[in-house]
Structure formats: C-alpha cells, structure tokens
Amino acid sequence: MAKSSSLLITFTASTIIVLSMLISSTRARASAGICYNSIISFGDSLADTGNLIRLTSSNSPPDHFFLPPYGESFFQHPTGRCSDGRLIIDFIAENLGLHLIQPYLAGKDFGEGVNFAVAGATAIDDSFFRERGIHNPFTNVSLGTQLGWFKDMLDSFCSKPSDRKKFLQSSLVLMGEIGGNDYNHALLQGRKLEEVKSFVPAVVRTISSAIKELIESGAVTLIVPGNLPIGCSAAYLTYFQSSDKDDYDMATGCIKWLNKFSKYHNKILKTEINRIRELHPHATINYADYYNAAMRLYRSPNKYGFKEGALTACCGAGGPYNYNASVPCGYPPSTSCDNPSLYVSWDGLHLTEAAYRWIARGLLQGPYSTPPINRICIPAPTSAGLVLQY
C-alpha cells in the first residue's frame, strides 16, 4: 500500500510539473503575442517549401531549383526552396515556435500547418495565360488549384465542423506572395507593360476571392503580402538593360518603371484589402509590405551586411548582374559565390536566406506589417482547456 501511495504521489507530482510547464509555455507565448498553433500558406516560389519538386515527373530532367547549390546555407542540400536556405515562411514559423511548415504534397502530419505554395504558380488560372500565348515554364498550378488542395486537406484532417473551425481560428494564414508570376511570365516573354498592367485587376480580384473564401471557412487572421520591387531583380535588370540613365534610380540602380509597376499592383491590392476589412470586421487582415521591407536592403546594402551589393546574383553564369536566363543557377557552367549572406540576390529572381531573414524580421517586429505579426494574438487556451496525452 505504501508503494502504491508513493507511486501515486510521484505520478501526481509529475503531472503537476508537466501541467505547469504547459500552462507557463502557453502564457509565455500569449504574452509575447505568439499564440498560433499552425500556419496555412499559399503562394509561389517565395513560399514553396517543396511542392514543385513533388509535382515534377521522375522521368523528366530535374529543374535547376532541385540541384545544388540550392539549400546549401542551411539545409546543406536542395529541398525545393528557391534560395540558398530558409524562406520568409520558415523564419515566421521558427519565430512562432513551430516546426518548419510541411509542403502539402509531402502528405505528412499537418498539425502545425500546411504549405500549398508552388514555385511558378500564378494567381489567375493557367487557361487565362494560355489563351494569350503566355507560357508558364514551371507549372499549371494556380491559386484556385491551391484552394482545392486546401479543401481536400480540411476534409481529411478535420472530420468535424467544430474541429475545422478550431483549426482555422488558431492558424495564421499567409496568403502569398502570389500574383508576381502573373506578371513575370508575361514581361520576361516580351509582353508590353500596358498589356501586363491590364492583368492587375483580375489578379487582385482572384486574391480577394481567395481571402473571402478562407474567412468564410473560418480563418480569422490573415497576412497578405504585396509584390517585391521587381526593378531591382537581376533577371529584370538583365532583360531590360538600357543605355538610358533615366530608366534607373540613381540611388539604388533599380529600374524605375518596373518598380512603379510593382507599386501599382500593391496599391490596388491594399485598396481591396481595406474593402474586405469592412465586409469582415471580425477578421484581422494585415498587409505585408514586402516592397519596402526589401527596398531598404537595396538602398543601404552595407547597413544590413550585404558587402557585395544588392543587385548582383550570388549564383549565376556571368553578365553585369551575374544572371543568364539560358544558364540558370544549378546548371553548369553557372557557379555560386563563396558567401551568400553577403548578397541580397540569390539566383537573379529569388533572394538569399539572409535577405529573407531581414524581410521576415520587418514583418514580425515591424514596421512592414501593421500591427507587427508578433503583436497579433488570437485568444490563448486557458489551463482548463489543456489536454494531456500519454
């Protein structure tokens, strides 16, 4: 009897300790404004953590994104991420105390979130571009496709409507970046700016429709990123290289008219976000200012540790910006720099892990998300709501 009493006391003490740790952890996360249980992500190559690599047929030659030196700075091998290491979504997950978010097509446990983003994905359906003779070289996945995956995931992961609502209410939804490829594929295939600019209302309507559908499904906290300054991209700087000095911003070396286009998209998107806020006042919809979060790196690269400058790609095959569309990073004879952390641009179209870290910091701590992500907090569960599993 004494032995049983001793075991009971030990078990009870252990239970109290575990319970106290869980309560303390929950309170600490809540007090820090970090109280999301999961992340749900949509988007393109700025957020893809491994979906495109799983969509690619084993019989086709590997895309350069899936070859070294991609992933070298953190993972030490390619993961399907279009960078030398982690992306913005990875830094957000780490900051929120979550594991790195699994790509949907990995088919693993989605308890801490799921990522539907696919490199090359567009907001508008691929048929829109095929009708106009614009080719997507990577995938036919659109935001609509990703929403379809999202619905399938909810059906399999959340068997009860109450579970579905609870999962979505405790999740941070990262809506993109999406829409950039709707313009990239067209502009880099020689379409005139006037034609591509006409796509903007349709792109923003598509993003808006997805946001509203997610809110109606139960999502209450959403981050909606704008587009990056494409006029600072090594790919665009190479493709639209000009002898006219007036085309360039003298302070950064970026192409002014391309950055003006990025700002135009962002302005229309922000206007639409404000409209959705009025329709759904119970939801928190934050605009993530990727444009200005990145522009500070181009304006003052040395201040942020980018000693090799901001416009030249770390990995490429030569040229004034070390970018050659016919020899992308990963294919010989392209080579990569010794230290990617000294560069903003990774492969000419995508940024380095170091640059993504700075952008993520600007979203998490401010001022490039209002309020900063770390200060948006859903109601934390009380100690009575904690369930211990053995």
Catalytic residues: 45, 347, 350
Rounded CA-CA distance 105/282 in Å is: 32
Rounded CA-CA distance 31/306 in Å is: 34
Rounded CA-CA distance 84/306 in Å is: 15
Tokens 């959403």 correspond to what residue? Answer: 222
- Secondary structure letter of residue 373 according to DSSP: G
Look up residue 10 and give its amino acid. T
User: Which ranges of the chain does DSSP label H, i.e. alpha helix?
Assistant: 2-31, 51-55, 88-95, 126-130, 143-157, 161-169, 180-187, 193-197, 200-217, 234-239, 256-279, 290-299, 353-364
Q: Record the tokens describing residue 193, joined without a space.
A: 């700016």
Rounded CA-CA distance 100/117 in Å is: 14
Look up residue 60 and give its amino acid. S
What does the buried/exposed string (b/e) look like for 124-140 if buried means 16 or more CB atoms within 10 Å of the residue's CB? Answer: bbbebbeeeebebebbb
Rounded CA-CA distance 43/146 in Å is: 8
Residue-wise DSSP of 221-255: EEEEE----GGG-HHHHHHT--S-GGGB-TTT--B
Torsion over CA: 290, 48, 207, 255 (sign): positive
Cβ atoms of 238 and 263 closer than 8 Å: no
